């Protein structure tokens, strides 16, 4: 998610967005929100808004107070990139911010799974995206979504369920023997006004 520096979202707007996510969720982005809870020296209204959302919902902040952004003109560091998740999975992940921006004004954020798998039957399956039958996927998506739309499918949960079902039918899966690593990198945009 990206909230521009001068945008003023309401608490209700962000909560409505979060309520559309399937649980458990990981929700991250450049919120341009500053607050001491995640290591910011300064505080702003968006920071207070995010703090309220965390406190009033079953949400955990994964950040470790490490700076996530460096202002290109001043070199000032701040923590404006946040990673929120369902409280039920908070202990399953570790949050790490790299020290090299790799040319961006945001430091890459990496989320590691803390889960270990004792047998291959417990390993999660991954789709082999490079093996997808694109035509079959497209036709099945169109047919399923068109027939369900006629039956009043309107929620994001229903839409996601349909896409997952189509993917399961058209994309082969594999097991991975590696520890799961979600490498989520902050957007490459530049916020000159931060």
- Looking at residue 85, its pLDDT comes to 95
Is the domain of 107 the same as that of 85?
yes
Within 10 Å of residue 78's Cβ, how many Cβ atoms? Answer: 19
Domain-located, residue 94:
yes
Per the domain annotation, does 194 fall within a domain? no
Q: Are residues 165 and 103 in the same domain?
A: no
Asked if residue 32 belongs to a domain, the reply is yes
Question: What's the rounded mean pLDDT across residues 7-35?
Answer: 92
Whether residues 18 and 110 fall in one domain: yes
- Rounded distance between C-alpha atoms, residue 68 and residue 124, angstroms: 30
Confidence class for position 59, pLDDT limits 50, 70, 90: very high
Assess whether 112 and 135 both reside in one domain: no
CA torsion sign for 58, 188, 164, 89 is: negative
Q: Where are any strands of DSSP class E within the chain?
A: 26-30, 59-61, 69-70, 77-78, 81-86, 93-97, 109-113, 125-127, 173-175, 181-184
pLDDT at 46 over 80: yes
Is 2 among the domain residues?
no
CA distance 115 to 65: 23
pLDDT digits (tens, 9 = 90+) for 94-140: 999 999 999 999 999 999 888 775 555 556 677 788 888 888 888 98
Are 136 and 88 within one domain?
Answer: no
CATH number of residue 49's parent domain: 3.60.10.10
pTM of the model: 0.62
pLDDT tens digits, 176-190:
554 445 555 555 554
Count how many domains the chain has: 2
Q: What is the pLDDT at residue 73?
A: 93
Range of the domain at 136: 129-171
Pinpoint the alpha helices (H) of the chain.
11-19, 45-56, 134-150, 156-170
């Amino acid at each position: 998610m990206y909230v521009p520096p001068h945008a003023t979202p309401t608490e209700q707007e962000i909560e409505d967005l979060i309520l559309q996510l399937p649980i458990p969720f990981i929700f991250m982005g450049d919120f341009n929100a500053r607050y001491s809870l995640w290591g910011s020296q300064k505080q702003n209204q968006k920071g207070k808004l995010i703090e309220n959302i965390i406190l009033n919902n079953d949400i955990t902040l994964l950040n470790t107070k490490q700076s996530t952004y460096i202002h290109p003109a001043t070199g000032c560091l701040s923590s404006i990139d946040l990673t929120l998740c369902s409280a039920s999975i908070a202990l399953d992940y570790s949050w790490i911010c790299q020290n090299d921006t790799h040319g961006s004004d945001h430091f890459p954020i990496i989320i590691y799974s803390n889960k270990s798998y004792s047998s291959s039957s417990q390993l999660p399956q991954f789709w082999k995206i490079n093996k997808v039958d694109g035509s079959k996927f497209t036709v099945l998506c169109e047919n399923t979504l068109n027939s369900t739309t006629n039956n009043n499918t309107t929620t994001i949960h229903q839409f996601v369920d349909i896409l997952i079902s189509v993917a399961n039918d058209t994309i082969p899966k594999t097991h991975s023997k590696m520890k799961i690593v979600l490498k989520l990198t902050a957007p490459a945009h530049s916020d000159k006004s931060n």
